[in-house]
Structure 1
Amino acid sequence: MRKNTGGLRPSGAPATGWSMKDSILSRLLYTYLILFISVILILSFVFTRFIDIGYYNMKRNQLLQEGKRISSLVERYGFEDLAGNQMKDALNLIGYVTNSSVYVLKIQNLEDVGPQMSGEYSMAIAEDIKRVAAGDEVARRISIENIDTDVFFAGLPIYLNGNVEGAVLLFSPLNELGQTMDRMYMAAWGIGLAFIMIASMVIYAVSRRVTEPIIRMANAAREIADGKFAGDINIQSNDEIALLADSFNYMKNQLKKIEKMRQELISNISHELRTPLTTIRGFIQGIMDGMINPEEERQYLEVALEEVNRMTKLVGDLMDLSKLQTGSIKLYKSEFDVDSLVNEVVKGFDIECRERGIYVAAEVGEGLKVTADRDRIKQVLVNLVGNAVKFTPDGGNIVISAQQVDNRTVFKISDTGQGISEEDIPYIFDRFYRADRTKPGHGLGLAIAKELVEIHGGTISAESKEGYGTTIIFDLPS
Structure 2
Amino acid sequence: MIIKKGIRRQIVLHYFLVVFIALLLIEVIFLIALRSYYYDTVYNHMVNHIRTANDFYQPFRLTSSDNVNQLSEMVRHFELYNTELQILNPAGQVLSTSTGFEIEQTIKTSDVTQALAGNTSRWIGKQQGTGQIVMAVSQSVSNGFENTYILRYVTSLEYVNDKLMKMTLFAVSIGAAVLAIVLAFSIGLANSIVKPLNNITTVSAQMAKGKFNVRIKGDYKYELGELSSTLNYMAQEIVRSNQVKDDFISSISHELRTPLTSIKGWSETLDSGGYDPEETKIGMQIISKETDRLIGLVEELLDFSKLQQNEMKLVKGIVNLRELLQEIMLNLWTKAEKKGVQIKLESDEKPIIYGDVNRLKQVFLNIVDNAVKFSHENGVINLYFAMEEKFVIVTVQDHGIGISDEHLRRVKDRFFQVNPLNGGTGLGLAITQQLVELHGGTMEMESELGHGTAVIVKLPLPEGKIPMAGGLENGEEDAAGPMA
Distance 1:159 1:364 in 2: 126
Aligned to 1:319: 302
Cα gap change, 1:88 to 1:168, in 2 (>3 Å): closer
Is residue 112–residue 150 contact of structure 2 (8 Å, CA) maintained in 1?
Answer: no
1:58 to 37, 54, 62: 37
Q: Partners of 1:154 and 1:408 in 2: how far apart?
A: 100
Q: Would the aligned equivalents of 2:216 and 2:232 in 1 still touch at CA under 8 Å?
A: yes
Instruction: Provide the residue aligned with 1:28 in structure 2.
Output: 7
Which residue of 415, 419, 426 maps to 1:436?
A: 419
Deviations, residues 350-391 of structure 1 (Å, cap 9, x unaligned):
333344332333356846444444433332222212211211
Cross-structure match for 1:92: 81
Percent identity of paired positions between Structure 1 and Structure 2: 24
Write the distance in 2 (CA, Å) between the matches of 1:250 and 1:295. Answer: 59
Preserved CA contact (<8 Å) 2:75 2:85: no
Aligned ranges 1:319-468 → 2 under 5 Å: 319-334=302-317, 336-362=319-345, 366=349, 368-405=351-388, 407-468=390-451
Q: Which amino acid aligns with 2:446?
A: E
Once residues 24 and 417 of structure 2 are traced to their aligned partners in structure 1, the CA distance between those partners, rounded to angstroms, is 71
Counterpart of 1:435 in 2: which secondary structure? coil
Please tell me the residue identity of whatever aligns with 2:427: L
**1:43 aligned residue:** 22
Are residue 298 (structure 1) and residue 287 (structure 2) matched? no
Cα distance in 1 between the residues matched to 2:208 and 2:236: 12
Q: Return the letter of the residue paired with 2:359.
A: R
**Are the aligned partners of 1:213 and 1:235 in contact in 2 as well (CA < 8 Å)?**
no
Taking the TM superposition and a 5 Å limit, the aligned residue runs for 1:170-189 are: 173=157, 175-176=161-162, 177-189=164-176
- Residue 283 of structure 1 aligns with which residue? 266
SS in 1 for 2:270: helix
What does the per-residue CA deviation read over 1:295-316, in whole Å, with 9 as the maximum and x for residues that have no partner?
4423321221111111111011
In structure 2, relative to structure 1, the CA distance for the partners of 1:278 and 1:149 (3 Å cut) is farther
Paired residues of 1:152 and 1:171 also in contact (CA < 8 A): yes
| Structure 2 residue matching 1:460: 3-state secondary structure | strand
The residue aligned with 2:471 is none
Deviation track 1:100-128 (CA, whole Å, cap 9, x = no partner) reads: x788989xxxxx37446998984445776
* TM-score, normalised by the number of residues in structure 1: 0.74
Corresponding residue for residue 196 of structure 1: 183
RMSD: 4.1
Alpha-carbon spacing, 1:52–1:233, altered in 2? closer, same or farther (3 Å): closer
Deviation at 1:180, TM superposition (A): 2.9
CA contact (8 A) 1:74 1:158 kept: no
Q: Which runs of 5+ in 2 are unaligned?
A: 62-70, 96-102, 462-484
Identify the residue that residue 215 of structure 1 maps to in structure 2.
202
> Aligned-pair distance for 1:210?
3.6
For residues 457 and 142 of structure 2, the distance between their equivalents in structure 1, rounded to whole angstroms, comes to: 102
Change (3 A) 1:461 1:105: farther
Q: CA deviation at 1:445?
A: 0.4
Give the length in aligned residue pairs. Answer: 433
Contact residue 460 and residue 475 of structure 1 kept, 8 A: yes
Alpha-carbon offset, residue 461 of structure 1: 2.9
Indicate conservation of the 8 Å contact 1:67/1:156, yes or no: no
Distance in 1 between residues matched to 2:276 and 2:372, nearest whole Å: 37
Closer/same/farther in 2, CA of residues 258 and 191 from structure 1, 3 Å limit: closer
Q: Aligned letter for 1:238?
A: K
One-letter code aligned to 1:181: T
**Change in CA separation of 1:77 and 1:294 when aligned onto 2, cut-off 3 Å:** same
Question: Is the Cα–Cα contact under 8 Å of residues 417 and 468 in structure 1 kept in the other structure?
Answer: yes
Instruction: Give the letter aligned to residue 17 of structure 2.
Output: S
> Which residue pairs with 1:265 in the alignment?
248
SS of 2:386's partner is: strand
Which whole-Å deviations, capped at 9, do the CAs of 1:44-91 have from their partners, x for residues lacking one? 3122123124214524653564366335425633556794677445x3
Please state whether the residue corresponding to 1:472 is helix, strand or coil.
strand
Structure 1: distance between partners of 2:290 and 2:30: 96
1:416 CA displacement? 0.7
Asked whether the 8 Å contact 1:413–1:472 carries over to 2, the reply is: yes
Which amino acid is the alignment partner of residue 448 of structure 1?
I
After the TM superposition, which residues 139-150 of structure 1 pair with which residues of structure 2 at under 5 Å, given as runs?
A: none
Instruction: Give the 3 Å change call, closer, same or farther, for CA 71–125 of structure 1 in structure 2.
Output: closer
Q: Provide closer, same or farther for how the CA distance between residues 372 and 169 of structure 1 changes in structure 2, counting only shifts above 3 A.
A: farther
